[in-house]
Amino acid sequence: MSKTILITGAAGFLGSHLCDRFIAEGYHIIGMDNFITGDKQNIQHLFSHPMFEFIEHDVTNYISISQPIDYILHFASPASPIDYLKIPIQTLKVSSLGTHNLLGLAKAKKARILIASTSEIYGDPLEHPQSEDYFGNVNAIGPRGVYDEAKRFQEALTMAYARFHKVQTRIARIFNTYGPRMRLNDGRAIPAFIGQVLRGESISVFGDGLQTRSFCYVDDLVEGIYKLLHSDFSMPINLGNPDEISIIELAKAIATMGHSAQQILYKPLPKDDPLKRRPDISLAKKILNWHPIVQRNEGLHRTLEYFKKLPKEKLFEVDHKDFSKHIKF
């Protein structure tokens, strides 16, 4: 008998790739999403698959599933600054009420649950690179606090269920990830730069561009999630690529790859935007025998090729998603 896994945020960037991976591994998938930021097109190819079923549902509401569940991957959450600044309350709710509902479901089903946390729990870090024992430097009441503190609370709640209710939990602290199926206009650096290059626009860089990030290709991240879920390690663990690059270098690399000679347009740096972000993945290497293998140039090339194949109207599509149709504040 195949194992059954519930994946929330299934229509999102990471969630849809996880659905593909676990389908390939022979799992029965229950995908769940309310399409607040997810896109049905990301999982359209799975709707006819006999090992995939889908439930349109907001995880902040009570979740009822009658069949047995072996694993839960909780990946439902807005994940870009544009999203969680537009819907701050829902961002807080999905990592608090949503996580509470899913931990309760895991307890009832005796299922193992993996929670998608984030490098944002480190805030604008005073230590570099960031290891799992660093407590972070977060502005709880700043505009990014709705996401940072939601994820920090999510981790605390998850550990409480692990310690008090003995639920089998796993926590992945995910650093910047990129690849096909990202939303072109969600404000994150790589799709933003690619979109501007393909449209022939000036490339927008916030601040002086010297702030750094570490970008992990989605296939590598999915492999890390798969290994973590099946490991015996229950404490938070960093998953990301420690190959660090400045934002200005990244913008120039994408422009060169896209044969663009567009100028760089500098814009004010958003409040509390981290100046450095790089994971220490020593623990993942030791516990999971995992490390990224896709080189940045290769990953960027694959991502650029994906966006180049989109219908032209998609490149010029402005993201005016009506969140009010999907949620209650």
- Determine whether 62 is an active site residue: no
Q: Is a pLDDT exceeding 90 seen at residue 143?
A: no
Mean pLDDT across the chain:
92
Total domain count for the chain?
Answer: 1
Q: In terms of pLDDT, which residue wins out, 65 or 143?
A: 65
Asked whether residue 98 carries a pLDDT value surpassing 80, the answer given is yes
Which residues 6+ apart lie within 8 Å of 53 measured at CB?
Answer: 28, 29, 30, 31
Q: Please tell me the predicted confidence (pLDDT) of residue 95.
A: 97
CA distance 49 to 33: 17
pLDDT at 319: 57
CATH of the domain at 240: 3.40.50.720
Q: Is the pLDDT of residue 93 over 50?
A: yes
User: What pLDDT is attached to residue 329?
Assistant: 41
pLDDT digit string, tens, across residues 38-73: 999 999 999 999 999 999 999 999 999 999 999 999
Residue 130: DSSP 8-state: B
80/222: higher pLDDT: 222
Tell me the C-alpha distance between 132 and 122, whole Å. Answer: 9
pLDDT at 28 over 50: yes
Catalytic residue among 27, 71, 122, 147: 147
DSSP assigned state of 44? G
* The pLDDT value given to residue 17: 98
| 275: confidence class by pLDDT, cuts 50, 70, 90 | confident
Instruction: For 172-194, give the DSSP string.
Output: EEE--EE-TT--TTSS-HHHHHH
- Per-residue pLDDT at 27 exceeds 50: yes
The domain in which residue 308 lies consists of 4-325
Cα–Cα dist 196/184, whole Å = 10
